[in-house]
Amino acid sequence: MALSASIVVQGGNPLQGAVAIGGAKNSAVAAMAAAALAEGETVLENMPEDTDVEVMARILTHLGCRVVRHHRRVRVDGRGLRARRPPDELARRLRASFYITGVLLGRLGEAEVPLPGGCPLGSRPVDFHLEGFRRLGAQVDLIHGCVRVRARRLVGTEIYINRASVGTTINLMLAATLAHGTTVLVNAAREPEVVDTAVLLGAMGARVQGAGTDVIRIDGVRKLEGARHAIIPDRIEAGTFLAAVGLCGGEVRLLNVVPCHLHAVIAKLREAGVEIEWGDGWLVARRRGPLRPTDLVTSPFPGFPTDLHPPFAALLAAAPGVSVIRETIFDRFQYVDELRRLGADLKVEGEAVVIRGGRRLTGAVVEATDLRAGAALVLAGLAAAGVTEVRGAELLDRGYEHLERKLAAVGARIRRQKAAPAGPETPPPKARSQAGAGSLAVASTYKK
Ligand code: EPU
């Protein structure tokens, strides 16, 4: 993808105010796929206004669904689902496009889906998904870069997932809802996004039990109906804002959050010297004293989420002393070289990054290598002296809803800039005073 926009930040401002967190990106794309299983209209509320949702809408439209987006509400009508193959160009743009395989297999008994794309986080195979489809009785072939799956009717069975994979758990849950008999997923992922998808499927008439534990039981039904469902808040967006407060200092209240999705994150923030208070649906982060170093290990939920590894590396780069982040899910160290351009002292050692924090950070031109790497660079820029230009704003738009608007509203000096041939010259403007709470007018009916 050609990178044509940058986010430009001027470091040094503490953050102050309130931010409304959007709906969870990874739940939203799964919910849209789930909605296509129904022979009726599903209304999804609290949808994030990011580009992954946009791409998923286009894919579903191409397959024959009717998708209408209005503000944070997306309607998906699955009645017209006919086509069996999403367009290559769209499927390659996001990992969640592969959920279409489970949907089409369940509903039409056949699918031809290009191997998915998504953020470059090392090798991201789909072998667990394919093994699961085989166990459900599908014939699975890989032809010309496409996965072709076929089954007269899927038949439920017990499936052991080799590793608690979020994508595999969701894809197999989608397929199994319309299978004949009972499917039991063992070693299922326990992420809140899996639970959210199961709740939606339940509202559509599916019989799913155990989501949120590592054994999920799905009793197949013949047909699913449309439903109405509100997507859970995005715990990764929330964690990114919390890390930002840690880096910049100040006090920010997050609204529309589920604090119990963030236990590991809250624990690590407290160790790092950030005060956290929380209640039902809100969370306040405050930092007045110095940051402290801490170690963390990424692991499946309820462990520390891999998607917050890069933002927390930025945070710990500002904490005097040595911190170590051990990454156990993905190969995601591409951000390290870019963070070094700002003066951070990080070194990759095997599957860990050793951070010697407390060095003075100074603004520079850097490039987002993926969505969360981009967030880490924006955060580090907010704490750096001078101006930082983060190229590749489009990558941030995949999973952060108007990041610069929300940060500006809590006092960050930040703006978006179209392709900048030379380095940043004009410092970003002063911030507005209210964040993310207003609805952002987007209305579209997608056309094939
Ligand atoms: N894996 C396999 N084979 C498979 C599937 C997964 O080897 O068939 C491996 C992966 O390579 C990885 C591990 O299993 O090492 C776990 O991967 P998982 O399947 O859980 O990840 P995913 O479903 O591809 C989702 C999120 C990611 C998030 C991970 C982990 C979506 C669309 N993506 O990916 O989100 O990092 O779970 O929590 O839900 C992001 O939002 O920036 C992002 C990358």
Q: Convert 121-159 to b/e letters by CB count within 10 Å (16 or more is b).
A: beebebebbbbbbebbbbebeeeeebbbbbbeebbbeeb
Alpha-carbon gap, residue 21 to 417, rounded angstroms: 24
Alpha-carbon gap, residue 209 to 215, rounded angstroms: 9
DSSP state of 311: H
| Angle, vertex CA 139, rays to CA 134 and CA 145, nearest 5 | 100
Of 25, 26, 299, best ligand 1 pocket probe by most atoms within 8 Å of the beta carbon? 26
Burial of 89 (0-12, 13-18, 19+ CB in 10 A): exposed
Ligand 1 touching residue 201 (CB < 6 A) = no
Ligand 1 touching residue 167 (CB < 6 A) = yes
Q: Whose CA is nearest to atom 39 of ligand 1?
A: 26
Distance 118 CA to ligand 1 centre (A): 10
Alpha-carbon gap, residue 161 to 305, rounded angstroms: 20
DSSP state of 429: P
Average pLDDT over every residue of 141-148: 90
pTM score: 0.94
pLDDT in tens, 285-336: 999 999 999 999 999 999 999 999 999 999 999 999 999 999 999 999 999 9
DSSP state of 23: B
Alpha-carbon gap, residue 134 to 140, rounded angstroms: 6
pLDDT in tens, 178-221: 999 999 999 999 999 999 999 999 999 999 999 999 999 999 99
Ligand 1 atom closest to residue 126's alpha carbon, by position in its atom list: 8
The distance of Cα 299 from the centroid of its chain, to the nearest Å, equals 15
The pLDDT value given to residue 121: 66
For helices 235-248 and 25-35, angle between their N-to-C axes, nearest 10 degrees: 170
Please say whether the beta carbons of 73 and 32 come within 8 A: no
Please say whether the beta carbons of 19 and 240 come within 8 A: no
349 CB contacts (<8 Å, ≥6 apart)? Answer: none
Q: Whose CA is nearest to atom 15 of ligand 1?
A: 329
Instruction: Give me the residues paired with residue 114 across strands.
Output: 146
Alpha-carbon gap, residue 152 to 138, rounded angstroms: 8
Band of residue 418 on the pLDDT scale cut at 50, 70, 90: confident
Ligand 1 touching residue 306 (CB < 6 A) = yes
Q: What's the mean pLDDT when you consider all of the chain?
A: 92
pLDDT in tens, 78-120: 999 999 999 999 998 899 999 999 999 999 999 999 988 766 6
Q: Does the active-site annotation cover 119?
A: yes
Distance 167 CA to ligand 1 centre (A): 6
Q: Whose CA is nearest to atom 26 of ligand 1?
A: 26
Alpha-carbon gap, residue 153 to 109, rounded angstroms: 6
Q: How many CA atoms lie within 13 A of 442 on its CB side?
A: 19
Distance 9 CA to ligand 1 centre (A): 30
* DSSP letter for each residue of 139-157: EEEEETTEEEEE-SS-B--
Ligand 1 atom closest to residue 164's alpha carbon, by position in its atom list: 20
Other beta carbons within 10 Å of 170: 32
Distance 140 CA to ligand 1 centre (A): 21
